Amino acid sequence: MTLRDQVAQLVFIAFHGEAPHSRSREFRNFLRLIRETKVGGLILNNASNGRVIQKAEPYAVAAFLNRLQRISKVPLLVGGDFERGASMRVDGTTVFPHAMAFGATGDPALARFEGEVTAREARALGVHWIYYPVADVNNNPDNPIINIRSFGENPQQVSAFVKAFIEGAHADKRNFVLTTAKHFPGHGDTAVDTHMNLATLTADRERLERLELVPFRAAIDAGVDSIMTAHIAVPALGPADLPATLSPAILTDLLRKQLGFKGLVITDALGMGGVQAFGAGEIAVRALEAGADTLLMPADADTAIKAVVAAVESGRLTRRRIEESAIRILAAKERLGLDRKRFVDVEAIGDTVAAPEAIERAQEIADRAVTLVRNTGELIPLAAPDRACFVVMAEGRYSAGGQSFTQEVHKRQPRAALAAVDPSMTRQALDDAVGKLPGCDSYVVAAFASVSAGRGTVSLAGDLPHVVETLVASHKPVALIALGNPYLLRSFPEVAGYLATFSNVPPSEIAAVKALWGEIPIHGRLPVTIPGLANPGDGIQLSATRTGGTAQ
């Protein structure tokens, strides 16, 4: 390989899974980047039309990847942020809840199962590199981007789940995938979304050793294949304004030398706000100087490659430094068997993804995660569902969140009084929607609030908090269900009942309704602290009181 070819192997570009027309500008750009620029790999991201996130379809992903693999001289290494299994990016695959839901179950064996299924489904699609598990310890309730993506706030518990997922993903050698612990050296105790700006972790070295670094050490011991960097500054380890992604003290001195990590070091996306102060070319050079092996989603792949080549030619970077990373990438491709088989069998996808037993087990995980934090007056399960009113708070006007919850309520109570609201509505429109509900003995508020890149918060948006406050002021009991952010109770401490699912996926919506109707036992326990209100391990334990699913 030429120097430029070696540098290009370190670059990973985004694709959305659909198959653009071969005469489209989009496809011609892929053709150029793969055939001429010779990038080393791809990352599957969701497309967006400005209103809703659009996930890919399994057969389209596989067919498109086969097509790109056929174009590339060197096999492409394909990755994806499959944090909830492949379902995070691809429809028609097994839908798992967020990591914190697993933490609430207290059972790492469930994460091991998720690892097995994720590996199997990923390889069926043509994806080889899973950017998971999240090894961040979420001990900051105001963290706007980690939150339920973390297994919890206890470093030992997080370590157990991280280790289990890696073991599961590595269990079947026929479906072997690369795993990734992220975001090094720990993104849990920050209050800034690094998609928007640079965050700072203010912990001292002693705290880092006993908390943030613990799950990463466990991941390394478990044989994790790669570690993803965080766009956060850590003054205890390096300059106060330098992201870890660009810090030799963090990636080389700490990760390589002190922790002894031998695998791939991958940057977080280089187009994020947390590193944008440096410019596309300089970011790429600094990341490699720091010790990264791959450049994930640079703002401009050609600019990044040109800058790195120039840095080598000027002596700023050595040729050996580039060769070390290129060899790691090529060795990973060989380990995955891509030198022998780079294409996937599209016809076999239907019998691989979304297996009935996997879907059933994923629902069981969501059921087991449900945690009852408060239950004044034994409000949950609902003694008289026919006299309760339901308010479903979606995260956006076009969000699908709440559809499964609504369907499940109507299955059991066809004439249920239900209002659907969202943050785009004016206060008057919200008052009107809730005011149309008939006389209710109690209220159930299903509040969707999950992490989203670029949003900067996981609180209820718009005037939705006003709705909850109005219902509480009615002096009728209110059960608040947090479908996502478990810390919502801090904003509404007066509610009579509080139930957390730690995820906003459909299985968690279904689990919440089953818990309201008493159809499942409630055995979940909080994996985090809700400051001043609840402690880790809290969770009211209830037995099931009804059989499920029938209309009343």
Euclidean distance between CA atoms 420 and 246, whole angstroms: 45
Burial 316-334 (b: 16+ CB within 10 A, else e): ebeeebbeebbebbbebbe
Could you count the other beta carbons within 10 Å of the beta carbon of residue 451? 20
Query: Residue 265 forms beta bridges with which residues?
Result: 227
- Integer Cα distance of 481 and 370 in angstroms: 10
Helix segments in 345-457, DSSP class H:
356-369, 403-412, 427-435
Query: What is the C-alpha separation between 108 and 163, in angstroms, rounded?
Result: 8
Alpha-carbon distance of 41 to 46, in angstroms, equals: 17
Among 491, 515, 545, which residue's Cα sits nearest to residue 104? 515
128 part of the active site:
no
- The strand pair at 53-54 and 47-48 is best described as antiparallel
Give the integer Cα–Cα distance in Å for 480 and 460. 12
How far CA 515 is from CA of 35, 93, 220, 346, 447, in Å, comes to 54, 25, 38, 39, 15
The answer to whether 111 and 133 are in contact (CB under 8 A) is: yes
Q: Is the alpha carbon torsion for 51, 57, 62, 68 positive or negative?
A: negative
Dihedral in degrees, nearest 10, Cα atoms 139, 396, 102, 186: -30
Per DSSP, helices labelled H in 424-500 are 427-435, 464-473
Helices 403-412, 506-516: inter-axial angle, 10-degree rounding:
30
Torsion of CA 481, 45, 102, 504, to 10 degrees: 10
Out of 16, 170, 187, 195, which one is annotated catalytic?
A: 195
From 136, 225, 268, 463, the catalytic residue: 268
> Is residue 204 annotated as a catalytic residue, yes or no?
no
Burial 213-230 (b: 16+ CB within 10 A, else e): bbbbbbbbebebbbbbbb
Is the Cβ–Cβ distance between 149 and 103 less than 8 Å? no
**Which residues are known catalytic residues?**
195, 268
